[in-house]
Structure 1
């Protein structure tokens, strides 16, 4: 779960803001200024359904709280299917993501779809089925701190990401931590996230050189883990749920907002973006 710095030249496959500060990536945008207070101030995510597609979520973890529904993707000789489950988390990763979402949007509804097994094991087919199920349930926000490198799943993932986009299910997807091709974070229909190393746990930045769109806290952060514990860890995985939590807060405040509107709000409210209202001049 380490994060590498994007290369200065060539295609950027892995993103983390190491060795740079927010001052290194200033952006001037046109439009109406949007402040964090306008975007999500006073909102706690109440009424928004957030689904964590991951390794499961530990029930009753003090930093996670209530899990409103837990499901698992099963693959056997009968095929692949999703079933309700009483099991928790197989490796801690999903609990960490759920805890960050809960901290950011404390009153959202949290759901879990387990697609990873012990030792972070999983397949592209199971990931695709779990994501498809979450999109079909029309969750407001889907946190996907996972990706697949398998090329045979790219077309199906792209179509599913587009379906979510047009159906107003916001997929917030983690960039890979190593310089390899993976999906679906590279699709423009999702909100893609890398990590920064700043100490401010509420700071997020827009990346002036996508495909990764946002940097959020994810390096040397404290997260919930198995057994009611916490650990300190690093990875784009843990920046992603912060952005998912912000998305939940915005959608709770503006429930008719589309995914492309949400992206624009996040862009204009980012700490390194200064909006120039040129139309008022």
Structure 2
């Protein structure tokens, strides 16, 4: 009985390239279903000339699906411009898992920190998904089969079970998925019998690429290579999509041989094997060098359509086993990674999957478990501890403690984006304007690998607030820093006008505040700066310190914009800076007043030139530029 079940899984519940059971009964077929891949341009006329009929057209690769006389297949293979012709073989679903797996991969640890896959788009290429199941939320989808009476509604049960493992809602009923808030798209590529053709899978991948999904789940398998499918998966991967595939259920009990099936065997796909609760490989889970990670695959509890629930309870949930169930655990974990690290590429997230895996079996990557059991968080002991110390005007401070000789530093993430890489523990301070921010930290090991992120720390910064400075502005931290030190305060109307030019008087005020000069209004040496002028105290103090000069006619011209060269001169006088090469910019020569000061600012990474190699010393300075220059001069952290 067990052998009969295994045979059913291999033929009916696996993927791509097996001949359909019913089709195999025909002794001498007259027509063949093929996929024709062209070298460059698609030539449908070639098919028509050989009395064939094009049934599907693909955009992701230069190919068509067609039906033509068997006797014409060889002729078509030799046709000019044709790269190869392959049989449009049958693909089918792969197997069956339980709720213990969600705990096993440590997904709940991420859930408690608000990481639930939110915003991550996942295409499930399968038998469809039950659109009415109370524990599932399907965002959209498509049926790419030639006959779709109920669109992408699941009429088999397999696709719904896979969907539940990935994203069953956290709603106190049934079960919960690895990434319960992920956006799932049901792409029906298999019929009610769990069968489909390679051309259907190609259409499903093409649909997923057009809809810019982040991850494709393929709980399918087939014993034969399908070059067109390999090309499509490679295209998807190169476009930034992660492709997760079940390794197959045709492994030997003793674990020998290379039994990984397609498409899991392709380099662009992540091949997933299956383990039980004791982290032991299931006896039928495929083995081979392509295995990348292992995941729970035995007796997994998940969703099914009520009408197809055959376990006697008819509640819309059941247990299944196999690599088909293991693959969606990996898909779900990758969705958690993607939410947590939105800026990272699919290649980086794939490496993270390997780095965080719990090594099983033979040390290192092996043909049974790959890099090991997939984990949402690392199994390594904590390497850093972070504590929020204070939240003040424009300033958030943390205590960071590193441990272990294998740790060389840490990274800081604000709202999911990396903002700092540091090597020294202690107090870390970030500068931000008014808003709500989420901070996470990760240690960096000596080999460059990054640990799992710490639990998110959410802070609400009450001020400063400027109408015209957003939290995403590249110069925002510098403005927040200067505000926290009382160096800038903005205008009465709540703006800071970053793109306006800055005047000589405003520069004197900012510099005076930064250097704690005497601000008392008083008479100045300049005939155009009265004692009642708002900046008179700072202008006179800066003059007395030798930071600023006037013009030969005895004026200071306080309302005149300041140039980049003048800015360099003033800042080089105000802050001790090392010397630099005056030939760094093609428009700065020894004849340019302030060339030495410009060289100092450039060498200290306070000021930069333009892409064309110029500094433009006589160009007026915008307020935001002076803010950035001053912050960099005052605090090396900004350089």
TM-score tier, shorter chain, comes to 0.7 to 0.9
How far 1:221 sits from its partner (Å)?
Answer: 1.4
How far 1:199 sits from its partner (Å)?
Answer: 5.9
How far 1:149 sits from its partner (Å)?
Answer: 3.6
Contact 2:247–2:260 (CA under 8 A) maintained in structure 1? no
- Residue 88 of structure 1 aligns with which residue? 153
The answer to whether 1:190 aligns with 2:277 is: no
Question: Following superposition of structure 1 onto structure 2, how do residues 199-218 of structure 1 map, counting pairs within 5 Å?
Answer: 210-218=289-297
Contact 1:71–1:85 (CA under 8 A) maintained in structure 2? no
* Distance 1:181-1:106 versus aligned 2 partners, 3 A rule: closer
Helix, strand or coil: the match of 1:43? Answer: coil
Q: Please, which of 207, 214, 219 is the counterpart of residue 145 of structure 1? A: 219
How far 1:100 sits from its partner (Å)?
Answer: 0.6
How far 1:166 sits from its partner (Å)?
Answer: 1.7
* Distance 1:182-1:128 versus aligned 2 partners, 3 A rule: farther
1:200-220 CA distances to partner (integer Å, 9 max, x unpaired)?
8xxxxxx99631111101112
- Residue 8 of structure 1 aligns with which residue? none
1:66-106 CA distances to partner (integer Å, 9 max, x unpaired)?
21113101337xxxxxx996451010000001001111111
Contact 1:150–1:182 (CA under 8 A) maintained in structure 2? yes
How far 1:266 sits from its partner (Å)?
Answer: 0.9
- Residue 155 of structure 1 aligns with which residue? 227
Give TM-score scaled by structure 1 length: 0.74
Contact 2:205–2:233 (CA under 8 A) maintained in structure 1? no
- Residue 22 of structure 1 aligns with which residue? none
The answer to whether 1:62 aligns with 2:62 is: no
Helix, strand or coil: the match of 1:45? Answer: coil
Please tell me whether Structure 1 or Structure 2 has the larger radius of gyration of its CA atoms: 2
Q: Distance in 1 between matches of 2:123 and 2:164?
A: 12
Contact 1:48–1:248 (CA under 8 A) maintained in structure 2? yes
Q: Distance in 2 between matches of 1:216 and 1:54?
A: 19
1:199-248 CA distances to partner (integer Å, 9 max, x unpaired)?
68xxxxxx996311111011121121121511212110001111101111
How far 1:121 sits from its partner (Å)?
Answer: 2.1
Helix, strand or coil: the match of 1:53? Answer: strand
Q: Give the unaligned 5+ runs of structure 1.
A: 5-35, 77-82, 201-206
Q: Please, which of 355, 358, 363 is the counterpart of residue 271 of structure 1? A: 358
Give TM-score scaled by structure 2 length: 0.34
Q: Please, which of 19, 33, 46 is the counterpart of residue 118 of structure 2? A: 46
* Distance 1:269-1:170 versus aligned 2 partners, 3 A rule: same
Contact 1:72–1:84 (CA under 8 A) maintained in structure 2? no
Helix, strand or coil: the match of 2:131? Answer: coil
- Residue 9 of structure 1 aligns with which residue? none
Q: Distance in 1 between matches of 2:325 and 2:228?
A: 25
Q: Give the unaligned 5+ runs of structure 2.
A: 11-107, 168-176, 252-258, 280-285, 307-314, 360-371, 373-378, 381-405, 407-444, 449-639
Helix, strand or coil: the match of 1:50? Answer: strand
Q: Distance in 2 between matches of 1:54 and 1:129?
A: 12
Q: Distance in 1 between matches of 2:353 and 2:152?
A: 35
The number of aligned residues is 236
* Distance 1:248-1:84 versus aligned 2 partners, 3 A rule: farther
Q: Distance in 2 between matches of 1:115 and 1:183?
A: 16
Q: Please, which of 219, 226, 240 is the counterpart of residue 327 of structure 2? A: 240
- Residue 145 of structure 2 aligns with which residue? 74
Question: Following superposition of structure 1 onto structure 2, how do residues 8-47 of structure 1 map, counting pairs within 5 Å?
Answer: 42-47=114-119
Contact 2:272–2:295 (CA under 8 A) maintained in structure 1? yes
* Distance 1:199-1:260 versus aligned 2 partners, 3 A rule: same
Q: Which structure is higher in helix share?
A: 1
Q: Please, which of 189, 196, 217 is the counterpart of residue 122 of structure 1? A: 196
Q: Distance in 1 between matches of 2:447 and 2:353?
A: 21
How far 1:136 sits from its partner (Å)?
Answer: 3.0
Contact 1:45–1:252 (CA under 8 A) maintained in structure 2? yes
Q: Please, which of 305, 309, 332 is the counterpart of residue 226 of structure 1? A: 305
Helix, strand or coil: the match of 1:131? Answer: helix
The answer to whether 1:260 aligns with 2:260 is: no
1:97-144 CA distances to partner (integer Å, 9 max, x unpaired)?
100111111111111010111121222221222122212322101111
Contact 1:115–1:130 (CA under 8 A) maintained in structure 2? yes
Helix, strand or coil: the match of 2:221? Answer: coil
- Of the two structures, which has the highest relative contact order with CA contacts closer than 8 Å and spacing of 6 or more? 1
